[in-house]
Amino acid sequence: MDPEILTVTSAAHVAAMREFNRFYTARLGLLSRRHLDGEFSLTEARMLYEIGANPQITATTLRATLRLDAGYISRLLSSLAKRKLVRQAVSAQDRRERRLTLTSLGEKKFALLNEQSAVQIGAILDGMSAIDRNALVQSLSTAQSILLQQRTSPVRIVRLSKMDDDVLRLINEYYEAINVTQRDTRATIRKIIQDEGSGVWLAYLGNQAVGCVVLKPLPSMGSAAECKRLYVQPRARGHGLADNLLDSIEAFARHNGLTWIYLDSFDALKAAVALYKKRGYVPCDRYNDNPQATIFLHKKVS
């Protein structure tokens, strides 16, 4: 197929999906400050639904289901708990986890939200013929099936125990993608992999390694490490792999008694910087001599 035709078709597909997104978000009132003109935001209402439909769900599972930042979920849960809608209890199986249930007041609010949502959707469907309703429901089912298949592609995050070709390939792709001038040698990468206090993690989609991240100690900062070489191949983006890689190094840092993770970036990497800030990384003073870096961030992880 002609590459130019493929590009035009892809752009048309993107435009079509964006147009539908604009249509249904307005049609269902999802742009309103409060969901269904009630007291909850859309995210809060969805959290109440997930907890009500899955009693004893953990906060980690809730975050993964909604694909939201851990800090954001934690703040919303605290708010719902203060309003006496959600009860949080330490899991008996894993004391690091919180199990979530609705209070009696939360159950009443959950039931009301369900009723209001059913009325809203019922009003939309009532204006259609039986043939159109069936066609719409079938189309939605097909769309959900396609998107779910894409979302549930097997994802694995693995901390390497030895050097392999995948890590060299991905790190070199990262270097070329943003034109890195200060590059690690093969020996340096091997040392990071072998050192108990550092590591290299690869992200796998199916059986293919499609992303990487490096964490290495920062002895000069005290109880700190530096995140480097966070990279996900363009074809593999949209699966949350960058978040998963950052989850892995942050968990490793906490397990090893570290307090801070530092990282640097530069102005052109807007998407990466936005991801870091969304995850709680905040500006700090320059801490290294990287000539390309213009942005310096850190996060307290324990």
pLDDT (0 to 100) of residue 1: 36
- Cβ(199)–Cβ(237) below 8 Å: no
Alpha-carbon distance of 150 to 132, in angstroms, equals: 27
Q: Where are the beta strands (DSSP E) in 152-293?
A: 155-159, 199-205, 208-217, 224-232, 260-265, 282-283
Lowest mean pLDDT among 92-96, 111-115, 182-186, 246-250: 92-96
Q: What is the pLDDT of residue 150?
A: 55
pLDDT tens for 18-48 read 898 898 888 888 888 888 888 999 999 999 9
Q: What is the pTM of this model?
A: 0.53
pLDDT tens digits along 139-157:
888 887 777 665 555 788 9
Q: What pLDDT score was predicted for residue 252?
A: 93
User: Whole-angstrom Cα distance, residue 186 to residue 172?
Assistant: 11
Has residue 5 got a pLDDT over 50? no
Q: With 50 as the cut, is the pLDDT of residue 2 above it?
A: no
